Copies of this chain bind each other. A is one copy, B any other.
Amino acid sequence: MAEPYLPTLITADPEAGFQLAIKMSRLGVKFTQPSAEIRAKLRPIYEESADSLIWSSQVVATNFQTVAQANNFWR
């Protein structure tokens, strides 16, 4: 990863913050499984598993807490 993947936690609005939280959740997976090929192989598994999707949403929720705090909740 030559270019920066997480330059800042500050975003323009909640939506951009939510997208950042999704990106961070994927980064957490990416650094544990760096092979794009294996991740591609796993995608249809978790994308069609109800529980995997719920757990993914849990990771996003946790990362969004961090991003929202960093942005003082965009108040």
* Partner-B contacts on A (CB < 8 A): 4-10, 13-15, 18, 22, 24-29, 31-33, 38, 42-43, 45-66, 68-70, 73-75
The answer on a CB contact under 8 Å between B10 and A75 is yes
The answer on a CB contact under 8 Å between B52 and A55 is no
Copies in the complex: 6
The answer on a CB contact under 8 Å between A29 and B6 is no
A55-B58, A75-B70 given; A4·B9 CB < 8 A: no
The answer on a CB contact under 8 Å between B31 and A42 is no
Query: How many Å lie between the Cα of A60 and that of B70 in the bound state?
Result: 17
Closest to A71 in B: B73
- Pick the contact of A32: B8, B28, B51, B53 (CB < 8 A): B53
